[in-house]
């Protein structure tokens, strides 16, 4: 490349002169410089084809590579937060890019180093909130969450029955105590939208004689707020929840939802340090154990031909992929057509990271493609283990005649439980 041949341009948008960074940007750049350099200085882009959003938009701005490259451009004063704000909306925080990154693959085994992209996206979104550049639908969502103390999963307009008054409605007739050593934390989408999941979960645990209770006052976990950049709100909600647990002398939290599990095992410890001394259990691990130990007997055959959707936060973020397969293989009558977890690094529902709130059309297309993959296997059912994935996947499944079930629902049916509740309002 030679510089002397480049004439002045008359661009539609001027490039301007490099700017000095403000304090918030400088801190962002200082935090992420080394991580970004690891990507920028190689530029392999192995992440691009696994990225569920990029697969749909085919726009290089939405690639994990761009998310890192922008850090360098910010540092050099070429771009500012406003320039890149919309780009960072295009992410489900699935973590596929992180596991596919050759830098992670080649040094990760030895040093547990992992290219961090999800955290970069979240940090940028926090900057956007600071600067009033957060997206309109996210503002509404988080304002309502703040008012209701739970996410407005049934809609952001009009009166919706999803405030604190209804947070335990799903449990009607199940006779679940408040408090105890172990708490079942029920995600907002499950508590109000797909109530069949918490009902199935609770009844499975009761059947297996596993004691648990509910919170005095369960607020949203705060995870979605953190994903969209509303850090203060996320921390405030987290504080409420751990205070509530402390009040009941809780030792153990069962997360029935993968996003919550990530939030409890990563964000809460980072918010509270040593104060956070709770044991966090993912329901899939627990149910697999109950089946393995013979405490839960699956006897009712489920005559379905299924494939399993590895929820991103279980598979790509937390490495949980064996337990759900173990569970599915234990269900009698089921024909299970598996797709390996590595192939599924490039699969997603599009339901995470606030994407469906701000870019629902991209979420719908990601889910459509996921169901198309399922259809190639000639299955009648796609099984997931993440309630947030199940809404967009179900919508896509309706279009091509494939049922979307939660793995816990199938377990409950196979254990002879009449679940009750609903899979959609």
Partner 1 sequence: MTITTIDAMILDRLHAILDEDGAVLTNKSSRFNRARVPAPFPVHRWEEFIPDVVVLPRTTEHVAQIVRLANEFAIPIVPRAGGTGLADGAVPMRGGIVVDIKRMDQIKEIDLVNNTVTVGPGINMQTLNRSLKPHGVIYPDDPASYACALVGGRIGTSGLSLLGARYGHTRDLVISFEIVTPTGEVIEVGDGGGRKIRKSSTGYHLKHLFMGHQGTLGIVTEATLELVPRAEAEFAAFFLFEDYDTAYRTFANLAKSGLATLGGVMMFDPEKVDYLRRDDEAYIIQPEWVKAVCAASLFGTKIEVEAAAPKVMELGRSLGGRYIGDEIASGDWAARHDRYANPLHGRDKNGNVTPMSWHCEDAAIPYSEVPAVLRKWHTIARKYCDQYDIFDDWGAFQYTNGAHKPWADVLVEIDMGLWEDRMDEESWQAFVSLKREIAQVAIDHGGSMSSCHGATRAGDAELVPTEMGASWEVMKTIKRALDPNNVMNPGKQSLDEAYRKVTR
Which residues in this chain contact partner 1 in the complex, by CB under 8 A?
A: 1-3, 5-7, 9-13, 15, 18, 34, 37-38, 40-46, 48-49, 57-61, 65-66, 69-70, 72-73, 76, 78-79, 83-84, 87, 100-103, 105-107, 109-111, 343, 376
Give the HSE-up count for residue 68: Cα atoms under 13 Å, Cβ half-sphere. 25
Closest CB 64 distance from partner 1, rounded Å: 11
Helix (H), strand (E) counts: the chain? 21, 7
Cβ proximity to partner 1: between 73 and 320 the closer is 73
Residue 213 has phi, psi (to 5 degrees) of: -135, -175
Tokens 């490259």 locate to 69
Name which of 83 and 266 has its Cβ closer to partner 1: 83
In 248-338, where does DSSP find H-type helix? 258-262, 268-272, 283-292, 312, 322-330
**Overall residue count recorded for the chain in this entry:** 425
- The whole-angstrom separation of Cα 116 and Cα 101 is 10
As measured in angstroms, the least distance from the Cβ of 33 to partner 1 is 9
| Comparison of 102 and 416: residue with beta carbon closer to partner 1 | 102
* Torsion 138-388-156-148 (CA) sign: negative
Among residues 254, 224, 212, which one has the least CA distance to residue 352?
224
Q: How many CB atoms lie within 10 A of CB 397?
A: 23
Residue 32 CB, nearest approach to partner 1 (Å): 14
Which lies closer to partner 1 via its Cβ, residue 124 or residue 205?
124
The residues pairing with 248 across neighbouring beta strands, listed in sequence order, are none
| 141 within 8 A of 357, measured Cβ to Cβ | yes
**Count of CB atoms within 10 A of residue 204's CB?**
25
- Nearer Cβ to partner 1 (82/232): 82
Closest distance of CB 84 from partner 1, Å: 5
Residue 50 CB, nearest distance to partner 1 (Å)? 8
State the Cα–Cα distance between residues 101 and 39, nearest whole angstrom: 9
Q: Which is closer to partner 1, CB of 43 or CB of 401?
A: 43
Query: Shortest distance, CB of residue 37 to partner 1, whole angstroms?
Result: 6
Tokens of 61: 């701005």
CB of 425 to partner 1, least distance (A): 31
Q: How far is the CB of 125 from partner 1 (least distance, A)?
A: 15
Of 131 and 239, CB closest to partner 1: 131
* Complex with partner 1: residue 99 or 228, whichever CB lies closer: 99
- Dihedral angle computed from the Cα positions of residues 383, 421, 330 and 313, in that order, rounded to the nearest 10 degrees: 50
């Amino acid at each position: 490349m030679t510089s002397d041949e480049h004439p002045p341009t008359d661009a539609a948008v001027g490039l301007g002169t490099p700017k000095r960074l403000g304090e918030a940007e400088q801190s962002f750049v200082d935090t992420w410089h080394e991580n970004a350099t690891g990507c920028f200085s190689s530029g392999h882009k192995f992440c691009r084809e696994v990225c569920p959003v990029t697969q749909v938009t085919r726009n290089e701005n939405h690639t994990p590579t761009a998310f890192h490259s922008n850090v360098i451009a910010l540092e050099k004063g070429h771009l500012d937060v406003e320039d890149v704000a919309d780009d960072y909306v295009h992410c489900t925080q699935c973590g596929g890019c992180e596991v596919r990154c050759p830098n992670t693959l080649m040094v990760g085994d030895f040093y547990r180093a992992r290219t961090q992209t999800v955290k970069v996206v979240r940090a940028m979104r926090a900057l956007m909130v600071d600067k009033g550049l957060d997206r309109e639908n996210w503002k509404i969502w988080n304002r309502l969450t703040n008012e209701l103390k739970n996410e407005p999963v049934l809609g952001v307009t009009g009166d919706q029955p999803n405030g604190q008054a209804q947070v335990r409605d799903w449990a009607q007739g199940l006779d679940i105590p408040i408090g105890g050593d172990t708490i079942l934390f029920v995600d907002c989408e499950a508590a109000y939208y797909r109530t069949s999941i918490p009902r199935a979960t609770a009844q499975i645990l009761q059947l297996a004689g596993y004691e648990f209770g509910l919170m005095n006052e369960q607020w949203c976990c705060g995870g979605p707020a953190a994903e969209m950049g509303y850090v203060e709100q996320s921390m405030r909600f987290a504080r409420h929840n751990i205070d509530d647990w402390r009040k009941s002398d809780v030792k153990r939290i069962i997360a029935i939802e993968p996003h919550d599990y990530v939030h409890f095992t990563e964000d809460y410890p980072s918010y509270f340090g040593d104060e956070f001394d709770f044991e966090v259990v993912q329901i899939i691990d627990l149910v697999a154990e109950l089946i393995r130990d013979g405490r839960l007997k699956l006897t009712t055959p489920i005559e379905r031909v299924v494939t399993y959707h590895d929820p991103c936060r279980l598979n790509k973020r937390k490495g949980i992929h064996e337990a759900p397969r173990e569970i599915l293989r234990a269900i009698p009558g089921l024909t299970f057509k598996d797709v390996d977890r590595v192939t599924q690094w490039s699969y997603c529902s599009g339901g995470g990271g606030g994407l469906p709130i701000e870019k629902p059309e991209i979420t719908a297309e990601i889910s459509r493609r996921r169901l198309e993959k399922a259809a190639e296997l000639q299955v009648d059912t796609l099984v997931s283990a993440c309630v947030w994935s199940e809404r967009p996947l179900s919508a896509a499944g309706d279009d091509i005649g494939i049922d979307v079930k939660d793995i816990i629902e199938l377990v409950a049916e196979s254990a002879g439980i009449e679940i009750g509740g609903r899979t959609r309002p």
